[in-house]
Chains A and B, each alone.
Chain A
Amino acid sequence: AQTVTQSQPEMSVQEAETVTLSCTYDTSESNYYLFWYKQPPSRQMILVIRQEAYKQQNATENRFSVNFQKAAKSFSLKISDSQLGDTAMYFCAFMKHATSGGYQKVTFGTGTKLQVIP
């Protein structure tokens, strides 16, 4: 079974600064996906960024980037130029790769509550 660990229950960052959220995972799989989801106060789950394990290059989406260390099983999220709208719970998630393109269950971490301070 896979496990996802987020060791930072809460974090804060000044507006316009950079913050890094940590995530580690444990798996025996070699091919999988990793995700960061954002859940703002509205409770809507929003995909922030995703990384395929077979890709060495770290994924980037505008101000969001990841540091994927496969050997260390680490998947941190860096938010640059933090904005007030980034205030939310952030969940790291793991999903095995499905060979036939079908679904696999997602395992979520416990979340990190990020507060962006004006």
Chain B
Amino acid sequence: GAVVSQHPSWVICKSGTSVKIECRSLDFQATTMFWYRQFPKQSLMLMATSNEGSKATYEQGVEKDKFLINHASLTLSTLTVTSAHPEDSSFYICSVWGTGRGYTFGSGTRLTVV
């Protein structure tokens, strides 16, 4: 099946700084990637859909200026949490859609803002 690499697996940053999370599709070209947020003991909430070469589509209630998504190539999408605050601390997961393959998820990134 498809392999999706997400990096870093965990990061601690100071309040007010920005953090970039990478999601790479290692074995096929992904025109569409998804970013989810998961709070402790809760389900995955879709934040945005990342389309290669175009602007991301954000879900209602997600601040696009806070969560910058770039999908510049068919194998890489990045999520940048800008001016992070403690309430942004969460587990972020990416997934990749492939026709015939379905969804494959990255291993997630635990963000802690102190």
B107 within 8 Å of A (CB atoms): yes
Say yes or no: is B46 at the interface (Cβ < 8 Å to chain A).
yes
Select the stretch in A38-46, A60-68, A79-87 that faces chain B. Answer: A38-46
Residues of B within 8 A of A113 (CB): 41
What string of 1s and 0s marks CB contacts (under 8 Å) between B55-69 and chain A? 000000000000000
How many A residues are at the interface, by size bracket?
A: 20 to 34
- By the criterion CB–CB under 8 Å, are B99 and A42 in contact? no
Answer yes or no: B54 CB below 8 A from chain A CBs.
no
> Is B28 at the interface (CB under 8 A from chain A)?
no
Leading 4 A-B pairs by shortest Cβ distance = A45-B105, A103-B97, A101-B99, A108-B43
CB-CB < 8 A to B97: which residues of A?
103
Residue among A33, A37, A103 with the highest chain B CB neighbour number at 10 A: A103
A109 and B107 CA atoms in complex are apart in Å by: 19
A8 to B33, CA, bound (A): 30
Q: Inter-chain contact count A-B, CB under 8 Å?
A: 45
Known: A50-B102, A102-B99, A105-B49. Contact between A42 and B107, CB under 8 A? yes
Count contacts on B: residues with CB < 8 A to the other chain.
22
Contact assessment for B32 and A110 in the assembled complex, using a CB-CB cutoff below 8 Å:
no
Residues on A with beta carbons closer than 8 Å to the beta carbon of B32: 102-103
12 more CB-based (< 8 A) A-B contacts, given A43-B107, A44-B105: A33-B102, A37-B105, A44-B108, A45-B44, A45-B95, A50-B102, A91-B44, A101-B100, A103-B97, A105-B49, A108-B43, A111-B43
Q: Is A11 an interface residue (CB 8 A)?
A: no
User: Which residues in B have their C-beta under 8 angstroms from that of A50?
Assistant: 102
A47 an interface residue at 8 Å Cβ cutoff? yes
State whether B108 touches A109 (Cβ < 8 A): no
Judged by a CB distance under 8 angstroms, whether A106 is at the interface is: yes
Interface bits B89-114 vs A (CB < 8 Å: 1, else 0): 00101010101101111011010000
- Which residues of A are found within 8 Å of B44, using beta-carbon distances? 45, 91, 108
CB distance from B40 to the nearest CB of A (A): 11
B93 / chain A contacts, CB cutoff of 8 Å: 43, 45
